[in-house]
Structure 1
Amino acid sequence: MNARREAPPQEKHRYILFHKPYGVLSSFTDAEGRPTLAAYIPVPEVYAAGRLDLRSEGLLLLTDDGALLHRATHPRYKLPKTYWVQVEGVPSPEALEALRQGVWVKGEKTGPAEVEVLDPPPALPPRPVPIRERKDIPTTWLQIVLREGKKRQVRHMTAAVGHPTLRLVRVALGPLTLADLEPGQWRDLTPEELRALREALRLGPGGKPARAPRGQGKALRPRSPRPSRR
């Protein structure tokens, strides 16, 4: 799996990037016997910071650092998540703008998103199970950046504007990217990546909370006690 230990030796926690393949759960156990992270990552006591559903692919961050895990999944810190999304059809400018402004999903309006068309389409490894394509209906690749995380949010958003998601790949989480990882590969964060992630989550060296600038305390209070999930 090309596992490489790159985290600073003085770090007491593990911080792992994993390229989750299609058809693998974002957990280490499953009562139904479906493929899990245990088949790929032989590291005990690490947990995924957010999830990708069974049919989604791409970047997962796993760690045993509870403070960082909390911040990476809490809506207070608005860690951006970047997805490459193949949708059915060709979204109109109005559909793209609706995604940017927020759409109604199950009685709630999604927050603003950054949305752009990827042309040419991104070069990605083939999926083991081909996407469902319909004759004479083209597909479009979008890049969608979210700063919130509700269950299957991207799929619900594209369906709401009439363009079902056919393939979904998370390519970045804050400053972290898939980079050279192939599906099923993992590695530890580099010192530079870990430092950038802590800065994005307002954590100081060693994982201690960074002090907020004077006058910003109220703005940093959490608006919701619920953790962010995809």
Structure 2
Amino acid sequence: MSQLLTSRWEPSDVLNIITPRNDISCAGFTQQGLPCRWRLDGEIKAQIRSLLLQMSEKSPRRALGDLPELARLCLCETNHRNQATRVLDTWTPLVERYASWLESRDTHQPQELDCSPDDKIDGSSNRNVRHSGSRSASPSVDDIMAELEALSIRQKQLQRALQHLLPPTGNQRPNSSSVQSTPSSVVITPLDESPSSSQQSLGGGARSFKKFFGSRKG
């Protein structure tokens, strides 16, 4: 099996079920159609994190079998437990597209030809080998959509890593000695919890792209 498919991935990023505050919210919807966002704590939260860890150690396609249990755990037991099928129908395409993107990226990687040091290849032949090895078919609309979703997932991972590097916010004032010894101050603004404008533009671009190609197919 490919190294890409056996490496760790983050189901929570693909499914977007962990908040910027590192909480897990109910994945159900209210009667008005709004996300529930009720915070899940205690034993349920521990079970969800344990299942996410198990899924991350599998390939995305193998982890599809864990989605029904994850959907059941990520719903309010009192109000929204009956929405497991709806949540599963939403999550399954996300994981399938992510798995397809990984497989496509692995397949389209150029492969190097094994040549011994004694092989005599002139410059033009060598250029032709490199060119033919990197040639691949044009990506489909689904491939590009999966690529955009993968970029959005990667952006979330980088934002979370940056949040760990940022200093904790607070009202504590720096002492006078540190202020005097610093020639200039740099203000670092923590990332906002709401989706960034870049994520919104990325999602909007993806939807416009899919709508454009859908109309051309029709």
TM-score after normalising by structure 1: 0.18
Larger radius of gyration: 2
Q: Which has the higher strand share?
A: 1
TM-score after normalising by structure 2: 0.19
| Structure with the larger RCO, 1 or 2 (CA within 8 Å, 6+ apart) | 1
Q: Which has the higher helix share?
A: 2
